[in-house]
Structure formats: structure tokens, C-alpha cells
Amino acid sequence: MHPIIRLVNRNLTISLNPGFLIWQVIFPLIYIFVAGFAYAPLIHEVPFGAKDLDYPAFLASGMIGFNIMNSTLVSGIIIWNDRRHGMFEQIMSGPFTRSHYILSNICTIGIVGLVSAALIALVGYPVFFESVEFAIITIPILIFGAIIGSVLFGSLASIISTRLRSSEGFNVIINTVFLFFAFVSTAFYPADGAPEPLRSAFYLNPLTYLVDVIRAGIFGNITDFVIFEMLVLVGIASVLFVIASKLLTKLDF
């Protein structure tokens, strides 16, 4: 078996436990079916492109991007635990190289991101199916969002895990950063109704671009700005991936 496949299998085995899978499904379900319908009487319609969405549909589609981001915490946690418990040293003393380790982590977060996106799309479909406009590019757009989003946020989680040594610092920083991304984005509410400077902060957040691209694919609203957002995501993901790879190649035991 190829070393990368062996490491990916190992990563998935230790990551995809019942608790993680339940969290990945139950947490979004609470938002979609509790918060979504609870706020629906207050937020009747949300403008998106040429159509108006009811709030549960807007939120359900946003949760796909949110869950992709949330699932990529796996990358940082794997690296952190490997360093903390001496597994990184053991892996490097076996038939594996740092390149194998880096590529296996990228493959892992890509798989987890795709599975996560598929789960939430299936769970949320009954909520937004009336507004869905499937086209030839819908599935490719969703796959693009899952893979690029996984690489982007997975690389960020990897960077954080390589720079911090205390468990308290790791947990505080990574949870603070990802909470900021989650709530200062269009995942839960539209940017148009937000006051400045909060509205501008939305577009400094890569999750906003990811969510907008996924919504555009689901609701058939591919515009020039959405294409620009896709290019921005590719650029940010590429930069963070290069930084994370360089830090991992210099990682001490």
C-alpha cells in the first residue's frame, strides 16, 4: 500500500469517530431546523441575486460552507496530537517522508470536506429544494467549494497547530479564529443588512466567499462577482497551502 494511502487511512480512522460524525450532523441540524425556523417569522425573505430566499433556505445553504470549514479543524488537531504524543517522530522514523505526511493531511481534509458538504446538502435539501436551480455546473461548483474550502481552512488550522506549543494556546487561538470566521460572514445573515464596518469585515473573511459560491451553485446565480470570489478563494488557499507546507517541512519532533 502506498505510504500516502496508509497515512490517509490512519488519519480517517482516528478522525471519523462516532462523536465527530454526530457533531458534524447534529450541530448543523440545530441551526437549520431550530434557529432557521425560529428566526423565520422575523426574517421573512433574504435577497440573493435575482430571487428572494426564505431564511431557513438561506441558512441551510450557508451551513454547507460553515460545515466544510468546521470539519477542517481535523487537520490542525491531527498535527497537534501527533506532536504532543510523539507520533510525528514515530511516523518520520518509519517508511514515510514529510511530503507523505503533508499530502496525506491534504487528502484527509479534502475527503472530510466533501463528506461534510454532502451530508449537510442532503440534510438541508428538504429546506431549500423549492428554490434550487440545478444546472450543469451546480455539482462542479459544490465540489470546487468543498475542496478549495478544505484546503484553505485546513492549511490555516495546520499553520496554527505548528506555531503553538501549549494546549491552552492552541485551543483558544483556533476556536477564536474559527468563531470569528463563522459569525463575521454571510453564513448566517446577509452582508447587505449589516452596518459598517461589520459589512466590510464580511468581505475580509474567506468563509463569506465560500458560502456565496456554494449558494450561487445551489440557487443558480453565477455572476461575474461569484467568479471573482472563486478566484480569491483559489489565491488564498494557494498561499496558505504553501505556508503550511513550508512550516510542516521544518517541523521539529
pLDDT in tens, 42-92: 777 887 777 788 888 888 888 888 888 887 777 777 877 777 777 877 887
Exposed/middle/buried for residue 163 (C-beta within 10 Å: 0-12, 13-18, 19+): exposed
Please determine, for residue 236, whether its predicted confidence score (pLDDT) is greater than 90.
yes
Every domain of the chain and the residues it spans: 3-249
Supply 96's cell numbers. Answer: 514515510
At residue 43, the pLDDT reads: 79
Q: What angle do CA 204, 171, 66 make, to 5 degrees?
A: 45
Helix, strand, coil share (%) of the chain residues, nearest 5: 75, 0, 20
**Which residue bears the cell 487561538?**
173
Please check the confidence at residue 116 and state whether its pLDDT lies above 80: no
Tens-place pLDDT, residues 10-50 = 888 877 766 666 776 777 778 787 877 888 777 778 877 77
* pLDDT confidence of residue 117: 78
Are the CB atoms for 87 and 166 separated by under 8 Å? no
**The pLDDT value given to residue 29:** 78
Which grid cell sits at 177?
479564529
Beta bridge partners of residue 51, listed in sequence order:
48
- 84/87 Cα distance (integer angstroms): 8
**Cα–Cα distance for residue pair 31/122, rounded to 1 Å:** 15
In tens, the pLDDT along 135-177 reads 788 888 888 988 898 889 888 888 888 877 777 777 788 888 8
Confidence band (pLDDT; 50, 70, 90) for 239?
very high
Grid cell locating 35: 434557529
Q: Looking at the DSSP assignment, which residues form a beta bridge with residue 52?
A: 47
Strand-pairing partners, residue 214, are none
Mean pLDDT of 114-133: 75
Please determine, for residue 125, whether its predicted confidence score (pLDDT) is greater than 70.
yes
Q: What is the pLDDT of residues 195-232, one digit of tens each?
A: 788 888 888 899 999 999 998 888 888 888 889 999 99
- Asked whether residue 123 carries a pLDDT value surpassing 80, the answer given is no
pLDDT, tens digit, 9 for 90 and up, residues 178-188: 888 888 888 88
Nine-digit cell string for 215 = 449558494
Give, in degrees to the nearest 5, the angle at Cα 16 between 10 and 20: 145
Confidence of residue 112 (pLDDT cuts 50, 70, 90): confident
Q: What is the pLDDT of residue 228?
A: 94
